[in-house]
Homo-oligomer: A and B are copies of this chain.
Amino acid sequence: MVIGHTNKNRKKVDSLNTNKQGRQSFRLPQMPIITAWASVAGKKESEGPLAHEFDVTSTDTLFGQKTWEQAEKQMQKIALDTLLKKAGVARQQIGLVFSGDLLNQCIGSSFSLRNTGLPHLGLYGACSTMAESLLLSAMTVGGGFSDRVVALTSSHFASSERQYRFPLGYGGQRTPTAQWTVTGSGAALVCSAGKGPRIASCTIGTVTDLGIQDANNMGAAMAPAAYATIRAHFDDLNTAPEDFDLIVTGDLGQLGKEMLLELAKRDGLSLGGKLTDCGTLVFDRDKQDVHAGGSGCGCSAITLCGHLLNRLNSGKLKKILFCGTGALLSPTSTQQGLPIPGVCHAVCIHGGEN
Protein backbone atom coordinates (compact mmCIF):
# COMPACT_ATOMS: atom_id res chain seq x y z
CA MET A 1 0.00 0.00 0.00
CA VAL A 2 2.96 2.32 -0.05
CA ILE A 3 3.36 4.78 -2.85
CA GLY A 4 7.03 5.49 -3.50
CA HIS A 5 8.35 3.70 -0.48
CA THR A 6 10.90 6.04 1.13
CA ASN A 7 11.25 4.00 4.21
CA LYS A 8 14.73 2.65 4.09
CA ASN A 9 16.28 5.08 6.49
CA ARG A 10 13.30 5.29 8.76
CA LYS A 11 14.26 5.41 12.43
CA LYS A 12 12.78 2.98 14.87
CA VAL A 13 9.63 4.01 16.63
CA ASP A 14 10.51 5.13 20.10
CA SER A 15 7.81 3.29 21.95
CA LEU A 16 7.79 3.25 25.67
CA ASN A 17 8.93 0.25 27.58
CA THR A 18 7.14 -0.16 30.81
CA ASN A 19 5.32 -2.70 32.80
CA LYS A 20 4.04 0.07 35.00
CA GLN A 21 3.43 3.38 33.30
CA GLY A 22 3.63 4.65 29.81
CA ARG A 23 1.87 2.04 27.78
CA GLN A 24 -0.67 4.53 26.42
CA SER A 25 1.84 6.71 24.58
CA PHE A 26 4.42 6.48 21.82
CA ARG A 27 6.88 8.86 20.19
CA LEU A 28 7.56 9.10 16.47
CA PRO A 29 11.24 9.98 16.06
CA GLN A 30 10.81 10.41 12.32
CA MET A 31 7.76 12.58 12.62
CA PRO A 32 4.98 12.07 10.08
CA ILE A 33 4.14 15.37 8.40
CA ILE A 34 0.70 16.87 7.91
CA THR A 35 1.35 18.25 4.44
CA ALA A 36 -2.20 19.40 3.73
CA TRP A 37 -5.53 19.90 5.45
CA ALA A 38 -9.01 20.95 4.42
CA SER A 39 -12.22 22.00 6.12
CA VAL A 40 -15.82 22.26 5.04
CA ALA A 41 -18.26 24.19 7.21
CA GLY A 42 -22.00 24.78 7.36
CA LYS A 43 -23.91 28.03 7.67
CA LYS A 44 -23.72 28.65 11.41
CA GLU A 45 -20.03 27.72 11.55
CA SER A 46 -19.36 30.14 8.68
CA GLU A 47 -20.88 32.94 10.74
CA GLY A 48 -18.61 32.19 13.70
CA PRO A 49 -15.19 33.47 14.74
CA LEU A 50 -13.24 30.92 12.62
CA ALA A 51 -15.19 31.60 9.39
CA HIS A 52 -12.14 32.91 7.48
CA GLU A 53 -10.15 29.72 8.19
CA PHE A 54 -12.41 27.25 6.37
CA ASP A 55 -11.72 26.15 2.80
CA VAL A 56 -15.34 25.61 1.82
CA THR A 57 -18.39 27.17 3.42
CA SER A 58 -22.01 26.62 2.47
CA THR A 59 -25.24 28.42 3.24
CA ASP A 60 -27.07 25.32 2.04
CA THR A 61 -27.13 23.00 5.03
CA LEU A 62 -28.21 20.13 2.75
CA PHE A 63 -25.14 20.59 0.53
CA GLY A 64 -27.35 19.93 -2.49
CA GLN A 65 -28.53 16.56 -1.15
CA LYS A 66 -31.99 15.29 -0.27
CA THR A 67 -31.31 14.21 3.32
CA TRP A 68 -29.16 15.35 6.24
CA GLU A 69 -27.27 12.04 6.22
CA GLN A 70 -26.43 12.43 2.55
CA ALA A 71 -25.42 16.04 3.24
CA GLU A 72 -22.92 14.69 5.74
CA LYS A 73 -21.59 12.23 3.17
CA GLN A 74 -21.30 15.11 0.71
CA MET A 75 -19.29 17.22 3.18
CA GLN A 76 -16.78 14.37 3.57
CA LYS A 77 -16.53 14.06 -0.21
CA ILE A 78 -15.90 17.80 -0.56
CA ALA A 79 -13.36 17.79 2.28
CA LEU A 80 -11.45 14.89 0.70
CA ASP A 81 -11.53 16.40 -2.80
CA THR A 82 -10.41 19.79 -1.44
CA LEU A 83 -7.61 18.12 0.51
CA LEU A 84 -6.27 16.27 -2.54
CA LYS A 85 -6.49 19.45 -4.63
CA LYS A 86 -4.63 21.51 -2.02
CA ALA A 87 -1.98 18.79 -1.70
CA GLY A 88 -1.66 18.33 -5.45
CA VAL A 89 -2.02 14.59 -4.94
CA ALA A 90 -4.09 12.17 -7.02
CA ARG A 91 -6.56 9.79 -5.42
CA GLN A 92 -4.43 6.87 -6.65
CA GLN A 93 -1.51 8.11 -4.56
CA ILE A 94 -3.38 7.76 -1.27
CA GLY A 95 -2.53 4.57 0.59
CA LEU A 96 -5.34 4.53 3.11
CA VAL A 97 -8.22 6.58 4.51
CA PHE A 98 -9.10 6.35 8.20
CA SER A 99 -12.55 7.81 8.76
CA GLY A 100 -15.65 7.63 10.88
CA ASP A 101 -18.57 9.72 12.02
CA LEU A 102 -21.47 9.84 14.48
CA LEU A 103 -24.21 8.41 12.27
CA ASN A 104 -25.45 4.93 13.07
CA GLN A 105 -23.13 2.51 11.25
CA CYS A 106 -20.99 5.48 10.16
CA ILE A 107 -22.83 5.90 6.86
CA GLY A 108 -21.35 9.36 6.32
CA SER A 109 -17.93 7.77 5.95
CA SER A 110 -18.77 4.62 4.02
CA PHE A 111 -21.02 6.37 1.51
CA SER A 112 -18.48 9.14 0.90
CA LEU A 113 -15.84 6.55 -0.07
CA ARG A 114 -18.18 4.29 -2.05
CA ASN A 115 -16.58 3.14 -5.29
CA THR A 116 -13.67 5.59 -5.00
CA GLY A 117 -11.14 2.74 -4.96
CA LEU A 118 -9.59 4.18 -1.79
CA PRO A 119 -8.46 1.63 0.82
CA HIS A 120 -10.51 2.37 3.92
CA LEU A 121 -10.50 1.41 7.58
CA GLY A 122 -13.59 2.60 9.44
CA LEU A 123 -13.42 4.03 12.94
CA TYR A 124 -15.85 4.73 15.72
CA GLY A 125 -14.53 7.09 18.34
CA ALA A 126 -17.55 9.42 18.61
CA CYS A 127 -16.33 13.03 18.69
CA SER A 128 -12.72 11.90 19.21
CA THR A 129 -12.56 10.63 15.62
CA MET A 130 -10.37 13.44 14.25
CA ALA A 131 -7.71 12.63 16.87
CA GLU A 132 -8.19 8.86 16.50
CA SER A 133 -7.85 8.99 12.72
CA LEU A 134 -4.83 11.32 12.94
CA LEU A 135 -3.17 9.04 15.50
CA LEU A 136 -3.72 5.94 13.37
CA SER A 137 -2.50 7.79 10.27
CA ALA A 138 0.65 8.68 12.20
CA MET A 139 1.08 5.03 13.24
CA THR A 140 0.59 3.85 9.65
CA VAL A 141 3.14 6.31 8.25
CA GLY A 142 5.47 6.03 11.24
CA GLY A 143 5.38 2.23 11.05
CA GLY A 144 6.35 2.33 7.40
CA PHE A 145 3.10 0.95 6.00
CA SER A 146 2.25 3.89 3.78
CA ASP A 147 3.60 7.25 2.71
CA ARG A 148 0.27 9.05 2.33
CA VAL A 149 -2.67 8.49 4.63
CA VAL A 150 -5.83 10.56 5.06
CA ALA A 151 -7.61 11.22 8.37
CA LEU A 152 -11.21 12.27 7.79
CA THR A 153 -14.39 12.87 9.78
CA SER A 154 -17.60 14.89 9.90
CA SER A 155 -20.71 15.72 11.84
CA HIS A 156 -23.97 17.46 11.00
CA PHE A 157 -26.23 19.32 13.40
CA ALA A 158 -29.48 18.12 11.84
CA SER A 159 -28.55 14.45 11.42
CA SER A 160 -27.22 14.36 15.00
CA GLU A 161 -30.21 16.07 16.54
CA ARG A 162 -32.68 13.67 15.05
CA GLN A 163 -30.55 10.63 15.81
CA TYR A 164 -29.52 11.47 19.38
CA ARG A 165 -32.26 13.79 20.59
CA PHE A 166 -35.39 14.98 18.78
CA PRO A 167 -36.44 15.62 15.19
CA LEU A 168 -35.71 19.29 14.48
CA GLY A 169 -39.38 19.92 13.60
CA TYR A 170 -40.33 19.02 17.16
CA GLY A 171 -38.72 22.24 18.37
CA GLY A 172 -37.48 20.78 21.68
CA GLN A 173 -36.12 23.24 24.23
CA ARG A 174 -32.39 22.87 24.79
CA THR A 175 -30.92 22.75 28.30
CA PRO A 176 -28.23 25.28 29.30
CA THR A 177 -25.62 22.48 29.43
CA ALA A 178 -26.43 21.35 25.86
CA GLN A 179 -23.89 21.82 23.08
CA TRP A 180 -24.43 22.52 19.40
CA THR A 181 -23.25 19.82 16.99
CA VAL A 182 -20.98 21.38 14.38
CA THR A 183 -21.94 20.94 10.73
CA GLY A 184 -18.62 20.38 9.10
CA SER A 185 -15.96 18.01 7.89
CA GLY A 186 -12.19 18.06 8.25
CA ALA A 187 -9.49 16.11 6.45
CA ALA A 188 -5.73 15.91 6.99
CA LEU A 189 -3.06 14.31 4.82
CA VAL A 190 -0.31 12.61 6.82
CA CYS A 191 2.88 11.89 4.87
CA SER A 192 6.37 10.49 5.34
CA ALA A 193 7.92 13.42 3.48
CA GLY A 194 7.08 17.03 2.70
CA LYS A 195 6.56 20.24 4.60
CA GLY A 196 4.09 21.14 7.31
CA PRO A 197 3.24 20.55 10.95
CA ARG A 198 4.66 17.29 12.32
CA ILE A 199 3.22 14.63 14.60
CA ALA A 200 5.70 14.01 17.41
CA SER A 201 3.85 11.67 19.75
CA CYS A 202 0.44 10.28 20.61
CA THR A 203 -1.47 9.02 23.62
CA ILE A 204 -4.26 6.47 23.25
CA GLY A 205 -7.17 6.91 25.63
CA THR A 206 -8.94 4.48 27.92
CA VAL A 207 -12.72 4.34 28.29
CA THR A 208 -13.37 6.39 31.39
CA ASP A 209 -16.65 6.91 33.15
CA LEU A 210 -17.38 8.67 36.43
CA GLY A 211 -21.11 7.97 36.28
CA ILE A 212 -22.47 11.05 34.48
CA GLN A 213 -25.87 10.12 33.04
CA ASP A 214 -27.14 13.40 31.58
CA ALA A 215 -27.01 13.07 27.78
CA ASN A 216 -27.46 16.85 27.62
CA ASN A 217 -24.22 17.40 29.49
CA MET A 218 -21.66 15.62 27.39
CA GLY A 219 -18.87 18.00 28.37
CA ALA A 220 -19.09 16.74 31.94
CA ALA A 221 -19.18 13.13 30.74
CA MET A 222 -16.01 13.58 28.68
CA ALA A 223 -13.95 15.73 31.06
CA PRO A 224 -12.67 12.80 33.19
CA ALA A 225 -11.47 10.96 30.06
CA ALA A 226 -9.80 14.13 28.80
CA TYR A 227 -8.00 14.59 32.07
CA ALA A 228 -6.92 10.94 32.23
CA THR A 229 -5.38 11.13 28.75
CA ILE A 230 -3.69 14.51 29.25
CA ARG A 231 -2.23 13.27 32.52
CA ALA A 232 -1.07 10.03 30.85
CA HIS A 233 0.58 12.04 28.07
CA PHE A 234 2.54 14.12 30.57
CA ASP A 235 3.52 11.13 32.71
CA ASP A 236 4.36 8.76 29.85
CA LEU A 237 6.44 11.25 27.90
CA ASN A 238 7.86 13.19 30.79
CA THR A 239 6.44 16.49 29.69
CA ALA A 240 4.27 19.21 31.24
CA PRO A 241 1.75 21.93 30.35
CA GLU A 242 4.50 24.57 30.09
CA ASP A 243 6.06 22.64 27.19
CA PHE A 244 3.04 23.45 25.05
CA ASP A 245 1.68 26.62 23.48
CA LEU A 246 -1.79 25.18 23.67
CA ILE A 247 -3.61 22.14 25.03
CA VAL A 248 -6.74 21.89 22.90
CA THR A 249 -9.58 19.57 23.80
CA GLY A 250 -12.13 18.54 21.17
CA ASP A 251 -15.58 19.46 22.33
CA LEU A 252 -15.86 19.72 26.09
CA GLY A 253 -17.60 23.08 25.73
CA GLN A 254 -17.54 25.71 28.45
CA LEU A 255 -18.77 23.47 31.26
CA GLY A 256 -16.60 20.50 30.40
CA LYS A 257 -13.58 22.76 30.10
CA GLU A 258 -14.21 24.18 33.56
CA MET A 259 -14.61 20.67 34.93
CA LEU A 260 -11.34 19.59 33.31
CA LEU A 261 -9.55 22.57 34.91
CA GLU A 262 -11.02 21.58 38.25
CA LEU A 263 -10.02 17.90 37.88
CA ALA A 264 -6.48 18.97 37.01
CA LYS A 265 -6.32 21.42 39.90
CA ARG A 266 -7.41 18.78 42.41
CA ASP A 267 -4.66 16.57 41.05
CA GLY A 268 -2.10 19.34 41.52
CA LEU A 269 -1.72 20.18 37.84
CA SER A 270 -2.27 23.68 36.52
CA LEU A 271 -3.56 23.81 32.95
CA GLY A 272 -4.71 27.42 33.27
CA GLY A 273 -3.59 29.67 30.46
CA LYS A 274 -2.73 26.74 28.21
CA LEU A 275 -6.10 25.05 27.90
CA THR A 276 -8.63 25.82 25.24
CA ASP A 277 -11.43 23.81 23.64
CA CYS A 278 -12.55 23.61 20.03
CA GLY A 279 -16.16 23.81 21.24
CA THR A 280 -15.49 27.24 22.70
CA LEU A 281 -13.40 28.42 19.71
CA VAL A 282 -15.71 27.52 16.86
CA PHE A 283 -18.77 29.54 17.90
CA ASP A 284 -19.30 32.91 19.54
CA ARG A 285 -21.28 31.82 22.57
CA ASP A 286 -22.58 35.33 23.26
CA LYS A 287 -23.94 35.91 19.80
CA GLN A 288 -24.69 32.46 18.37
CA ASP A 289 -27.00 30.90 20.99
CA VAL A 290 -25.09 27.63 21.20
CA HIS A 291 -25.38 27.28 24.99
CA ALA A 292 -22.27 25.43 26.28
CA GLY A 293 -20.47 25.50 22.89
CA GLY A 294 -19.84 23.34 19.85
CA SER A 295 -19.61 19.54 19.72
CA GLY A 296 -19.50 16.65 17.26
CA CYS A 297 -16.68 15.05 15.27
CA GLY A 298 -16.79 18.09 12.98
CA CYS A 299 -16.08 20.48 15.87
CA SER A 300 -12.48 19.45 16.48
CA ALA A 301 -12.07 18.48 12.81
CA ILE A 302 -12.74 21.92 11.32
CA THR A 303 -10.97 23.71 14.17
CA LEU A 304 -7.85 21.57 13.62
CA CYS A 305 -8.02 21.45 9.82
CA GLY A 306 -8.49 25.22 9.62
CA HIS A 307 -7.50 27.40 12.55
CA LEU A 308 -4.97 25.22 14.41
CA LEU A 309 -3.00 23.73 11.51
CA ASN A 310 -2.88 27.15 9.83
CA ARG A 311 -1.33 28.63 12.96
CA LEU A 312 1.06 25.71 13.42
CA ASN A 313 2.13 26.02 9.81
CA SER A 314 2.74 29.77 9.99
CA GLY A 315 4.79 29.41 13.16
CA LYS A 316 2.28 31.24 15.37
CA LEU A 317 2.00 28.01 17.34
CA LYS A 318 5.12 25.92 17.98
CA LYS A 319 3.68 22.91 19.77
CA ILE A 320 0.17 21.85 20.72
CA LEU A 321 -1.50 18.86 22.32
CA PHE A 322 -4.63 18.12 20.31
CA CYS A 323 -6.98 16.06 22.47
CA GLY A 324 -10.02 14.62 20.70
CA THR A 325 -12.80 13.89 23.17
CA GLY A 326 -15.67 11.48 22.61
CA ALA A 327 -18.81 10.52 24.53
CA LEU A 328 -19.40 6.84 23.82
CA LEU A 329 -23.12 6.76 24.49
CA SER A 330 -26.00 5.77 22.26
CA PRO A 331 -29.67 6.69 22.62
CA THR A 332 -30.23 3.02 23.56
CA SER A 333 -27.67 3.04 26.37
CA THR A 334 -29.18 6.27 27.71
CA GLN A 335 -32.71 4.86 27.57
CA GLN A 336 -31.44 1.83 29.47
CA GLY A 337 -30.26 4.12 32.27
CA LEU A 338 -26.54 3.61 31.70
CA PRO A 339 -23.92 6.27 32.32
CA ILE A 340 -21.90 7.93 29.53
CA PRO A 341 -18.37 6.57 29.05
CA GLY A 342 -15.89 9.01 27.59
CA VAL A 343 -12.65 8.63 25.69
CA CYS A 344 -9.88 11.01 24.67
CA HIS A 345 -6.95 10.51 22.32
CA ALA A 346 -4.10 13.04 22.24
CA VAL A 347 -1.79 13.97 19.38
CA CYS A 348 1.22 16.22 19.94
CA ILE A 349 1.79 18.39 16.86
CA HIS A 350 4.86 20.57 16.23
CA GLY A 351 4.77 23.68 14.07
CA GLY A 352 6.02 23.46 10.49
CA GLU A 353 9.53 24.44 9.42
CA ASN A 354 8.36 26.59 6.54
> In the bound complex, do residue B26 and residue A3 qualify as a contact, i.e. CB atoms below 8 Å apart?
no
> In the bound complex, do residue B115 and residue A207 qualify as a contact, i.e. CB atoms below 8 Å apart?
yes
Q: A2-B17, A16-B1 are in contact. Are A124 and B143 (CB under 8 A)?
A: no
Asked if A270 lies at the interface with its beta carbon under 8 angstroms from chain B, I say no
Q: Which of A198-243 contact B (CB under 8 A)?
A: 204-209
Asked if A126 lies at the interface with its beta carbon under 8 angstroms from chain B, I say yes
> In the bound complex, do residue B120 and residue A204 qualify as a contact, i.e. CB atoms below 8 Å apart?
yes
Mark contacts of A108-142 with chain B using CB atoms, 8 A cut-off: 1 yes-contact digit, 0 otherwise.
01110111111111111110000010011001101
Asked if A315 lies at the interface with its beta carbon under 8 angstroms from chain B, I say no
CB distance from A152 to the nearest CB of B (A): 13
> In the bound complex, do residue A26 and residue B4 qualify as a contact, i.e. CB atoms below 8 Å apart?
no
Number of copies: 2
Stretch in A47-55, A93-101, A244-252, A278-286 touching the partner: A93-101
Contact residue among B13, B22, B139, B330 (Cβ-Cβ distance under 8 Å from A107): B330
A143: nearest chain-B partner, CB-CB: B143
Please report the C-alpha to C-alpha distance between residue A126 and residue B115 in the assembled complex, in whole angstroms.
17
CB distance from A166 to the nearest CB of B (A): 16
> In the bound complex, do residue A121 and residue B132 qualify as a contact, i.e. CB atoms below 8 Å apart?
yes
Given contacts A117-B206, A122-B125, A143-B143, 19 further A-B contacts (CB under 8 A): A5-B16, A19-B93, A23-B146, A26-B145, A69-B336, A70-B336, A104-B332, A106-B328, A110-B343, A111-B328, A115-B209, A119-B205, A120-B207, A122-B123, A122-B126, A123-B123, A136-B136, A139-B139, A142-B145
Chain A residues with CB under 8 Å of chain B are 1-5, 7-8, 10, 12-13, 15-19, 22-26, 66-67, 69-70, 92-93, 95-96, 100, 102-107, 109-111, 113-126, 132, 135-136, 139-140, 142-146, 204-209, 328-333, 336, 338, 341, 343, 345
